[in-house]
Amino acid sequence: MFQNLQRRWKVGGWSLVLIITTFALGGSLCGYLGRKLLLLSGLEKGVIWLLIYIILITLLWPFCVLLVSIPLGQFSFFRNYILKILGKFKGKQKIQTTRIAIFASGAGSNARKIIEYFQRHPSIEVSLVVSNNPSAGVLQIAEEFRIPTLVIGRESLNDDNGCLSQLKNRDINFIVMAGFLWKLPPSIINSYPRKIVNIHPALLPAYGGKGMYGKHVHEAVIQNQEQQSGITIHLADELYDHGEVLFQASCTVEKNDTPDSLADKIHQLEHRYYAAEIENYLEKQNPR
C-alpha cells in the first residue's frame, strides 16, 4: 500500500511518513476544534449536533492540515492537494497539465526543490529529468521521486531524432534548466519558443556567457570586488545566458566572502525563488 502511495504521489519514503503524519495530526486537530466549537454553542448531542459537527470538521480540515504541514515541511504538497480536491468539487473541466522536463548535470539541489514544489500541483508536474552525466546526483533524486530519466550525449542532444524526439514522445511542453552545462541546440530552442527557462548565479548581463557557471561566476564576482551578486531567471535562447529576464534577486557580497560562502548565499536564493517563479510564469501563460 505504501509503495503505491509513493508512486501515486511521487515522494520518497521519509516524505510519505511526514505526509501521513500531517493527515493524522490535521484530522485530530480539526476534530478537536469542531468539538470545542460545538461545546461553546451549547447544543445538546443529537442528530443536529452530529450534522453540524460533520460540516464543521469538513470546513476546518483544509485549514488544519495546512497549519500542521508548515512545521513538517509539507505545505506545498498539501496546498496543491487541496487545490486539486477543490477543483473536482467545483466541477471544473480537466485542466491541461504542463509537463516539465528538468535538464541538469550535477547534484540536483535545484531540481529537488522544483520537484518537491510541484508535487500534487493541479496543473504542473515534473515528468522527466534529463542529464548529460550518467553519474549525476540529479538522477538519484529523480529515482527517489519515481520520475523517468533520460541520459544523453552530444550526438543525441543535437539530433532531431534523439533528445528532441524523446521530449515530444513524452509530451513535454516546458523545459527547466537547472545546472545543465551544455547549450541547447537550435532545434530544441525553436521547438519550445518561450518555453525554456534557465537560472544563472549572477545578475545578468554581468558574469554571463560561455564558461561562466557555478564557482567560476563567484570567483569572478569576488575578484572584481562587486558589492552585490544574485540570481537571474530568464528565458533561454540560442546564446549562453541570454534571453528575456523574468526575475532577479540580489544578495550582498561581503569583504570576507569566499566563492564557497557566496555560493551558499546564491543557493539560498535559487531554492527560495526558482520554483515559485516558474509557477508564476506558467500561470501567466496559461491563466485558469
Cell of 279: 509557477
Q: Is 109 helix (H, G, I), strand (E, B) or coil?
A: helix
Q: Which residue type occupies 242? A: H
Task: Name the phi and psi angles at 91, rounded to 5.
Answer: 70, 30
Active-site residue, 200 included: yes
For 149-172, give one letter per residue: b (16+ CB within 10 A) or e: bbebeeebbbeeebbbebbeeeeb
The two counts, helices (H) then strands (E), for the chain are 11, 7
Q: Determine what percent of the chain falls in helix, strand and coil, rounding each to the nearest 5.
A: 50, 15, 35
Q: Which residue type is seen at 195?
A: K
CA distance 176 to 114: 9
Which residue of the set 121, 200, 218, 234 is catalytic? 200
Give the Cα separation of 101 and 23 in Å (integer): 30
What's the CA gap between 17 and 11, in Å, rounded?
10
Catalytic residue positions, numbered: 200
